[in-house]
Amino acid sequence: MGSVEGLDGCVVPAVHPEKVLQATANAPGADELGRVSAVFKLLGDPTRARLLYALLEAGELCVCDLAAATSTTDTTVSQALRLLRASGVVAGRREGRNVFYRLSDAHVRMLLDVTREHITHDPKSGAASVTEATS
């Protein structure tokens, strides 16, 4: 059994050192990883996801319409949008008393599309057995 220097500089045992090195070499740093998981976490809430899919379909909606489209209160919508706006996922445009929101990034649009495709085209759900080799 070999050993590999971990991310924290501490030496940890490893069964397959080369593989571990290969994994750590191009791995995202702590900062990058934090940002990545932050984005996923934002999309990981059903309420926020519903808002984003609504925006994906309609293009641009104000808070009250988003509340209507997702069957929630304007307060809940506003709070969700605050987080999404803080991460640059959505952008707002003020027009009179209304603020219209829209998806502000093509990447996010792609994430929403790909994942929906992933869900609808995969039987999944049933856990994959350990013994099964889905090569």
Q: How many helices (H) does the chain have, and how many strands (E)?
A: 6, 5
**Is 79 among the residues that bind a second copy (CB under 8 A)?**
no
Q: Is the dihedral of CA 48, 46, 51, 70 positive or negative?
A: negative
Nearest CB to DNA, comparing residues 11 and 117: 11
Residue 59's contacts (CB-CB under 8 Å, 6 or more residues apart) are 102
Residue 76 interacting partner from DNA, a second copy, none (CB closer than 5 to 8 Å by kind) = DNA
Q: Are the C-beta atoms of 78 and 43 separated by less than 8 Å? A: no
The residue within the footprint of DNA, chosen from 49, 69, 91, 99 (CB under 7 A), is 99
- Binding string, 5-24, against a second copy, x = CB under 8 A? -xxx-x-xxxxx--xx-xxx
Name the pairing type of β-strands 90-95 and 11-14.
Answer: unpaired
Residue 20 interacting partner from DNA, a second copy, none (CB closer than 5 to 8 Å by kind) = a second copy
Residues forming contacts to DNA in the complex (CB under 7 A) are 1, 15, 41, 45-48, 62-64, 67, 72-83, 92, 94, 96-99, 130
